[in-house]
Amino acid sequence: MAQAVLSAPDLTAHGIADPGQVHWNLGTAALYEHAVRRAEGVVAESGPLVCLTGVHTGRSPNDKFLVREPSTASNVWWGKVNRDIAPAQFEAVKQRMLGALRGRELFVQDCFAGADPEYRLPIRIITERAWHSLFARTMFLASPAGETDPGHAPGFTVIDVPSVEADPASHGTNSPVFILLNFAERLVLIGGTSYAGEIKKSIFTVMNYLLPLRDVLPMHCSANIGADGDTALFFGLSGTGKTTLSSDPERRLIGDDEHGWTASGVFNFEGGCYAKMINLSAEAEPEIYSTTRRFGTVLENVVLDPRTRQLDLDDDTLTENTRGAYPISFIDNWVPSGQGGHPRNVVMLTADAFGVLPPIARLTPEAAMYHFLSGYTAKVAGTEKGVTEPQATFSTCFGAPFMVWHPTVYAKLLGDRIAEHGSRVWLVNTGWTGGPYGTGARMRIAHTRAMINAALSGALDDVPYQADARFGVDVPRTCPGVPADVLIPRDTWASGADYDAQAGRLAVMFTENFERFAAQAEPGIKAAGPRV
């Protein structure tokens, strides 16, 4: 039976009066016990804790709001991504939440975001669910289990109470779900949803605002490091292979999702990984698959046999967005410091379902900024209701939902870093070749790995290149381990005219999307886009 661990500090500074038992910095085993005791999850046959998130099986981007207040109002990129809410409405939601916590059993984790001590943000995560506390402890850089530090002064606090819902009519929210960020109060309120990823991404949003104030570029990317100490970054949206391609047995993993680039190098924001689990196999993803057989992994919405407790990673009955949170130390090739030097290579991944972008291309600094601002990938038919043919998707900076400043702020920081350190930038298409989705074939992962290995090793430095007249990028004519006819996308199509028509369609989509940034972007960046 789990025993209560009472805190040395208290929660009065956060306005939480008369709570029930408060469990402070519990470790993994104790949180397992509490989660099972409270019927929040079950232990699978192989060791992980399996929990359900209910109706919300993913993030709720339309329910995230930032308080519009004097200290941040002129800095925030207000609009569809950063919706505003009035201080009075935030206060009303907060009082509702604080009132609901009277007598409530609570779980607290004092953690940090940021592996670099100079830029580390102390955070406090207060939750009503034991498994959410375990998720936070897994994803962030945690304090020692069972210990409290009276000197831990959180730079930001997250209060996560899924059982509390907002009233849209009086609180100005979009629905009963709310993710509210208040930079003046250094406080995040989350309610109405049990999806644990909201905790992780709220702190990422916070870092995306705070770090540019210190001339640090926050990035939605993975990072690894080679045997000779060369760091590589991998930007990419969901489905492009960011996690897969950065998990390389020949290179060590710095982190799989969120990093900062400082004057000294790069650092991971987190202490854990948060990977999609659907259709995971030991053959395709051996390291990530092994984490589903580990005590300490938290699995969300993964189906298991109620009798044997064996997992079925292929079952998407609950959602296709099944997730697993696990300590990064579960990956054999990991970097304990969570830090690396300045990137020698930057890889921008796209899954082009139109089948027209080259499988790998070298970008000029201006083209790198163009594609960073564009953040292109494509949805394919069947991925969402109503999607019957490939649809272009643009998520600026490869993470629009979490960017607080105008995208050009992040683009300038990236451009300055690339110029200062001479980083090479590559555009890699992990999507389709020989035709669009439904006609062509998905790029072979073996070919993609060979191209990335060649780029990172320098094997593509001295090969001949061919300019792509439509997309304005330089395409290598040869690459070790890759047939030459794969490298030029037009050559893989049965009809060159069909390729030209499809490429023209995508070029128009790029151009129309970039109009959002045309006024702020430098002329050279705008000119680096596709030719219509």
Residue 225 to residue 232: CA distance in whole angstroms: 6
Report the 3 state secondary structure along 295-354.
Answer: CCCEEECCEECCCCCCEECCCCCCCCCCEEEEEHHHCCCECCCCEECCEEEEEEEECCCC
290 is catalytic: no
**Which phi and psi (to 5°) does residue 245 adopt?**
-75, -25
94 is catalytic: no
Produce one character per residue of 494-512: b if its CB has 16 or more CB atoms within 10 Å, e if not: eeeeebeebbeebbebbbe
64-67 and 178-182 beta bridge pairing: parallel
Q: Which two tokens stand for residue 147?
A: 């210990």
Residue 338 to residue 269: CA distance in whole angstroms: 8
201 is catalytic: yes
Cβ 460 vs Cβ 253: under 8 Å: no
Q: Which of 148, 238, 478, 511 is catalytic?
A: 238
Burial class (CB in 10 A: 0-12, 13-18, 19+), 474: middle
Provide the sign of the torsion angle of the four alpha carbons 111, 113, 118, 119, taken in this order.
negative
Cβ 438 vs Cβ 432: under 8 Å: no
Cβ 468 vs Cβ 499: under 8 Å: no
Residue 362 to residue 467: CA distance in whole angstroms: 10
129 is catalytic: no
Q: Which of 257, 371, 379, 408 is catalytic?
A: 257
173 is catalytic: no
96 is catalytic: no
Residue 197 to residue 203: CA distance in whole angstroms: 10
Tokens 């109060």 belong to residue: 185
Return the ∠ at Cα 135 (arms to 129 and 140), rounded to 5°.
130
Q: Which of 34, 94, 323, 371 is catalytic?
A: 323
220 is catalytic: yes
Q: Which of 64, 94, 220, 371 is catalytic?
A: 220
Q: Which of 171, 200, 242, 406 is catalytic?
A: 242
Residue 340 to residue 410: CA distance in whole angstroms: 20
339-340 and 391-394 beta bridge pairing: unpaired
CA-closest candidate to residue 227, choices 457, 480, 461, 458 = 457
Residue 424's alpha-carbon distances to 231, 360, 513, in angstroms, are 11, 13, 25
Cα–chain center distance at 529: 26
Q: Which of 201, 342, 371, 412 is catalytic?
A: 201
Q: Which of 59, 129, 137, 200 is catalytic?
A: 59
**Residue 510 CB partners (closer than 8 Å, separation 6+):** 374, 376, 392, 529, 530
312 is catalytic: no
Angle, helices 130-139 vs 197-210, to 10°: value is 40
Question: What residue type is 514 in one-letter code?
Answer: F
Q: Which of 53, 57, 243, 408 is catalytic?
A: 243
The catalytic residues are 59, 201, 220, 238, 242-243, 257, 323
